[in-house]
């Protein structure tokens, strides 16, 4: 998983090609702030809007959003 300011990419370890059809855009949510953490097939990213988003690594979709204080 590669994280840019407002895009998330996933590359295959086998061949280096994109594992998702398209990068995941986060422009409607905010900007990434801090480091992400992987747990199983989920990747958690902290966002500037005080949320942590959970991304399904297999599908390249946001599966949960959690408000933090």
The rounded distance, in Å, linking the Cα atoms of 35 and 15 is 25
Total-model pTM: 0.88
Give the pLDDT confidence of 18-55 residue by residue, as tens digits. Answer: 999 999 999 999 899 999 999 999 999 999 999 999 99
Q: CB-based contacts of 3: which residues, under 8 Å, 6+ apart?
A: 9, 32, 36, 45
**Per-residue pLDDT band at 69 (split at 50, 70, 90):** confident
């Amino acid at each position: 998983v590669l994280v840019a300011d407002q895009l998330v990419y996933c590359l295959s370890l086998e061949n280096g090609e994109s594992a998702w059809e398209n990068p995941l855009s986060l422009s409607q949510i905010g900007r990434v702030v801090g480091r992400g953490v992987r747990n199983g097939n989920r990747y958690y990213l902290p966002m500037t809007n005080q949320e942590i988003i959970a991304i399904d690594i297999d599908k390249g979709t946001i599966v949960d959003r959690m408000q933090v204080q």
